[in-house]
Structure 1
Amino acid sequence: MKRYEREAFLKTFGIFFISLLLFASILASFYYNEQKHTMEEQIFIEMKAFTYDFKSSSFKVDIVPKNESIDEFNLQPCLEGMCGYFVLPNTTNSFFKVILPQEKFNELLHAIFLKVVFLYMLVFFSILLFALFYSFYALHPLKKALHLLEEFLKDLIHDLNTPVTSILLNTRWLAKQNPSEALERIELGARSISSLHKNLEAIHNGFIQNYETIELSNFLHVRANPFQKLYPHLHFHFHLSPCNLYCDVDAL
C-alpha cells in the first residue's frame, strides 16, 4: 500500500470508526442508566415484598417517623446505603425503612457495569471489523483508478525517455560538428522535456521532498535563462527585495 493509499485508508477508517464508536458509547451510556434504573425498581419491589414476610437476608429494617421529604414510591439513597420507605399498617405516622447496605448495592451496580463493558467490547470489535471492511471496500474503486493512472504514467515516462534521450545525444553531437544557436535552442527544449520526465518519474516512484534554502532572485534568473535563449526577443527583468525560501526546488 503506497503512501497516498495508506493516508486515504486511515482517514476513511478513522472517520467511520470514530463516528460509530462515539454513537456506540452514547448508546452504552443510555443502556447503563436504563439497567441501573431497572435494577433500582426491582430492588424496591423486593423491599416491598420483604415488608410482608421479612424473610430476605439482603435487607435490614427500621421504623422511622413520617417525614415530608420521604418518597414512598422510589428507592432513595440514605446513610446506610439505599432505602425504601413503606407505610406501617394501621398507622399514618411511621414508616418501615428497608435498607439495602451500600456494599451490596455497589456489588449489583458493579455487575451491571461489567455487563455493559462486556457488551461494549463486543460492539467495539464488531465496529472495528466492519470499519476495516468498509474502508477497504470503499477505497477499492479508487485504488483501481489509481492503478490505471500509474500504468499510464509509467508508459508515458517510458515513451518520453527514449525520444528525449535521442534528441539530447544527437544535438550534442551536431553541436560539436557544427555549433549553432538553433541547435542550442533544440537542446534547451529537450532539457525542459527531460526535466518534466524526471518530475513524472519522481511522482511515480513516490516523491520525497528535499528542503533547502534558496535565494529567490537567483532562482528566478536560473529558471528564466533557458527561456531567454529560446526567445531572444524577450527580456526578463526582476526587481525583488532580498528573499530566501525554504522549500524543495524541484517542487517549484
Structure 2
Amino acid sequence: MKNYEKKSFFTSFFLFFITLIILSSIVLYMYHEDKVKDIKQNILYQMKDYTFDFKNKMFSLDIIENDTNKQLFKIYDCKEGLCAYFEAPSTGPYLLKVVYDKKKYEKLYNEFLIKTFKFSIVIFFLLLIISLGFAIYSLRPMKEALHLLEDFLKDLIHDLNTPATSILLNSRLLRKRGDFEEIERIELSAKTISSLYKNLELITPNSITKDESVFVEELINKKIEVLHKIYPNIEFIKNLKNLEIKNNTNAVERIIDNILTNACKYNKKKGQVIISIKNQTLIIKDTGIGIKNTKKVFQRYYKENETGLGIGLSIVKQLCDTLDIKISIESKEAEGTQVKLVFP
C-alpha cells in the first residue's frame, strides 16, 4: 500500500471508528445508568416485601426517629450501603430503616459491570471490523481513479519520449550544417522535456540496482553546464571534490537534477547557487525565495506557487528513501534554501 493510500485508509478508518466508539459509549452509558436504576428499584421492592415478614437475610433493620427530610419508599446511598425508609407498624414518631449491605451491593454491581465489559469488548471488535471494512471499501474509488491516472501517465511518458528524442537528434544534425543560437535554444528545450520525461518515468520506480560507480562531481558539472545556458544570470559557486559512491547513476542524477533545477528556478534574478561536498555529504544552497512549509514539500503534487507540477521533490524523496540517502531541507522565506544529501 502506497503512502497516500495508507494515509487515506487510516484517516477513513479512525474517523469512522472513533465516531462509532463515541456513539456506542453514549449508548452504553445510558444502558448502564438505566440498568443501575433497575437494580436499585428491584432491591427497593424486595425491601418493601421484607417489611412484612422480616425474614430475608439480605437486609438488616433499624428503627429511627421520623425525619421529614427522608422520603418514604425511595432508595438512598448511605454509609452502610443502600437504604430505604418505611412507615413503622406501630404508632409513634419512628421509621423503619432497611439496609442492603454495601459489600453485597458492590458484588451485585461488579457482576453487572463484568457482563457489561464483556459485552463492550464484543462491540469494540465488531466496530473495529466494520470500520476496517468501511475504510477498505472507501479506498476502492480512489484506487480505481489512481490506477487510471497511472495508466494515463505511462501512456503520456511513452508518447513524450519519442518527440523529445527526435528533436534532440535533429538539432544535433542541424548543428553539423551550422551552429546557430536558435538551434541551441531548441536543444535546451528538448533537454528540459527529456528531464521531465525522466522524472515522470521514476514516479513509480520498480527495483533499483545500487551497484554502479557514481561520480557525484561529474553529475553536478554536467547539470550546471546545461543550467548555466538556461539561467545565465545565476552564479554557480562550487567547492567540490571527487566523490565516488556505489549507487544507481540514473537515480542519483535525477536527485541532483531536480534539486539544482529548483535552486535556479526559484532563485533571485542575479542569485547564487552554492554547491559543496564534504566527506559523504552534498550541500546545495541557493539565495532564492525560500520554502514556506518544508514539511509538506516532499508531498506529491504539493506546490507553493503556480509553476511546476509538484512532483520533483516528491520523486527526490522517494528515490532518496530507496537509495538510503538521507535528505534534509532548511529554508527561510526571501533568504533561500539549503538541501543536504548524505550518501551511504
Q: TM-score, normalised by structure 1?
A: 0.79
Aligned to 1:88: 88
Q: Distance in 1 between matches of 2:69 and 2:229?
A: 87
SS at match of 2:57: coil
2:231 is the counterpart of 1:225: yes
Structure 2, gaps ≥5 residues long: 207-226, 233-267, 272-286, 298-309, 315-344
SS at match of 1:245: coil
Aligned to 2:41: 41
Distance 1:244 1:189, change over 3 A: closer
Q: Distance in 2 between matches of 1:182 and 1:162?
A: 21
1:182 Cα offset (Å): 2.4
Q: Distance in 1 between matches of 2:228 and 2:20?
A: 54
Aligned to 2:129: 129
Contact 1:80 1:100 in 2 (8 A): yes
Aligned to 1:65: 65
Larger displacement relative to structure 2 (34-43 or 46-55): 46-55
More strand by share: 2
Larger displacement relative to structure 2 (58-67 or 83-92): 83-92
Contact 1:153 1:204 in 2 (8 A): no
Contact 2:44 2:74 in 1 (8 A): yes
1:13 Cα offset (Å): 1.1
Contact 1:66 1:95 in 2 (8 A): yes
Contact 1:32 1:112 in 2 (8 A): no
1:139 Cα offset (Å): 2.0
Larger radius of gyration: 1
Aligned to 1:234: none
Structure 1, gaps ≥5 residues long: 207-220, 227-236
Aligned to 1:213: none
Instruction: Give the percent of matched residue pairs that are identical in Structure 1 and Structure 2.
Output: 39
Per-residue CA distance 1:120-177 (angstroms, 9 max, x = gap):
2111111111111112112212211111111111121122224323433453465366
SS at match of 1:55: coil
Aligned to 2:21: 21
Aligned to 1:111: 111
Contact 2:188 2:230 in 1 (8 A): no
Aligned to 1:245: 290
Q: Distance in 2 between matches of 1:223 and 1:76?
A: 91
More helix by share: 1
Q: Distance in 2 between matches of 1:120 and 1:222?
A: 68
Q: Distance in 1 between matches of 2:135 and 2:174?
A: 57
Distance 1:129 1:92, change over 3 A: farther
- How many residue pairs align between the two structures? 231
Aligned to 2:146: 146
Contact 1:13 1:135 in 2 (8 A): yes
Q: Distance in 1 between matches of 2:119 and 2:288?
A: 61
Distance 1:201 1:92, change over 3 A: farther
Aligned to 1:75: 75
Larger displacement relative to structure 2 (177-186 or 133-142): 177-186
Q: Distance in 2 between matches of 1:92 and 1:191?
A: 110
Contact 2:74 2:84 in 1 (8 A): yes
Q: Distance in 1 between matches of 2:82 and 2:167?
A: 93
Aligned to 1:53: 53
